Structure 1
């Protein structure tokens, strides 16, 4: 395996910051990309004791030229990029009709186009050498009400990733493109997401610490897995959505609202990171350590998922056949 130079977008806090630590412990030199220089430098200082080289690049992932310049600077400082992880994202929560076009556009550009532009910058350089790994994130868990914009962006990332894989295979490059499907993660984003709900935001469903997400990303990158699902709940709910979509819609319309909102009202003047970074010392964790799970759940790879869906379909077909026989 060649020496690893890993690039992480959104590296100043949350999943990106936890991923930087995990990859540095694995021996990778790490380039950190984000909008807040102070936070990136603080993240780089955390890696100093791990005896790896680091590079700090300030860039907005929604600007393709800025990412291209950052990628050139990384290769000048650290060497050829072998691993690129797209962790950056931005969101706005609230009833869709209450969101402004500028908010919708910005959240989509950062989350979706940030991944697209990051993938493009990585792929252009990896193709010069014919190898490398890119990891994208399906970081919402499930489409949820009040988060329609981010849900749309994550769906676009899934389709983009799946469409790009055949192109890479067609050209014969040894470039691996992985997609990691994450549940709710305890990051600072719940404090700095633009919030139009009037209530404080909280994660819905099983909540895991960012180190769990970072381990899954590392597993996908070094194991060269096509897809990695963290835990069973998201996979089960997606299967339920295929089998009983109307029932899932009704359940979401009631339970998902309550699951994502606290009783306490949100601060009307709270800063958010949609258009500019929020000042202050933020690290990987958010404020939900008391409820976040620390132990690694099952990691479901594509092969395991295919087998599980096959078993579920066979069981469903068997139940349907049994019911028809009883009617006869």
Structure 2
């Protein structure tokens, strides 16, 4: 039995691909919105192999009309959209002043307005039915900007503010439609092989690095049990809290380590052509070239998945501690 119809933007590679696989495994029929025909064909085949219905729709999420037409097609061919995951992104790496303005604007168009367009398409269909769920794939970098990624960080900050505004509007209207954000750590995805980069060496995510399946599991968990905000990975928690309480120190620290920390001098394989304006041909799957450095598990994410047991254990430990203190006080 189907859990419903899910849409994943950017679902042919990286975290999006891992998310499509996880949702199909949990019983969702999945529509995938992305630009590359090769990736769409392969992703649809994987969903169908999992026993679920699938639809691939060639879409540039920066094009509002294209997103609306894709949503119409999904509902016409699969049925009402119950879950929409905004995950599409492109990357430009380099100092702000030496980044071509057109490249910067294109990245913002995909990474910010792509989320706006997807959210509009989803909510315009969900709110009249008074049901549905939109998940925004956020980042630790929506809370703390780092050097060399001004377009990405600015887009993620913008998406966070946009989502908070729309969340308040849905609450004001008494809507039953859910809106969630899942903030990610550094992930081992293909993006670091096809970003447009000015860096002298192969770019890499700032360690610690996690496999994309860690993030996909968190997204699917939030789809199962909606919650407004979820932080994935210990590094995400540390980054967000660190910026709240020691923002000035992080400015200083990142000025000294943020450049070298995004370089991978040990990776010598030739990089693919960037996908900023046109999709890279071929099917590239979920994982990138950093599996030798990536973690497949996170204690923090495990605790989120099992928070009832964690809370119960913590409560039991606290009660036992109180009992011990009370017993000691009586014996005095």
Out of 143-152 and 258-267, give the one that drifted further.
Answer: 258-267
Structure 1 segment 236-315 matched on structure 2, within 5 A: 236-263=238-265, 270-299=272-301
CA distance in 1, matches of 2:8, 2:64: 15
Partner of 1:22 in structure 2?
A: 22
Other-structure match for 1:138: 138
| Counterpart position of 1:43 | 43
CA distance in 2, matches of 1:101, 1:5: 38
Q: Give the structure 1 partner of residue 53 of structure 2.
A: 53
Q: Corresponding residue for 2:7?
A: 7
Deviations 1:1-29 (A, max 9, x none): 98410000001111111101110111110
Distance 2:201 2:166 in 1: 39
- In structure 2, which of residues 215, 218, 221 is the aligned counterpart of residue 216 of structure 1? 218
Kept in 2, the 8 Å contact 1:140–1:151? The answer is no
Q: How many angstroms apart in 2 are the aligned matches of 1:191 and 1:254?
A: 24
- How far off is 1:297 after superposition? 3.4
Structure 2: unaligned runs, 5 residues or longer: 312-332
- Deviation of the 1:187 alpha carbon: 0.5
Asked if structure 2 preserves the Cα contact closer than 8 Å seen for 1:95 and 1:146, the reply is yes
Give the 3 Å change call, closer, same or farther, for CA 65–146 of structure 1 in structure 2: same
Take 1:89 and 1:181, find their aligned partners in 2: how far apart are those partners? 14
Gaps of 5+ in 1: 308-328
Q: How many correspondences in the alignment?
A: 304
Aligned match of 2:319? none
Q: 1:197: how far off?
A: 1.8
What TM-score comes out, normalization by structure 1 length? 0.88
Rounded to whole Å, the distance in 1 between the matches of 2:63 and 2:268 is 31
Q: TM-score, normalised by structure 2?
A: 0.87
Q: Secondary structure at the match of 2:288?
A: coil
Q: Which residue is equivalent to 2:93?
A: 93
Quick one: distance in 1 between partners of 2:105 and 2:15? 23
Q: Distance in 2 between matches of 1:263 and 1:199?
A: 6
CA contact (8 A) 2:140 2:239 kept: no
What is the CA–CA distance in structure 1 between the aligned matches of 2:222 and 2:79, rounded to whole Å? Answer: 22
Partner of 2:103: 103
Change (3 A) 1:192 1:40: same
Question: What RMSD, in angstroms, separates the aligned Cα atoms of the two structures?
Answer: 2.2
Partner of 2:321: none
- In 1: Cα distance, 2:45 partner to 2:298 partner: 27
1:138 Cα offset (Å)? 1.3
Query: Is residue 2:195 matched to residue 1:193?
Result: yes
Choose 290-299 or 278-287, whichever is displaced more: 290-299
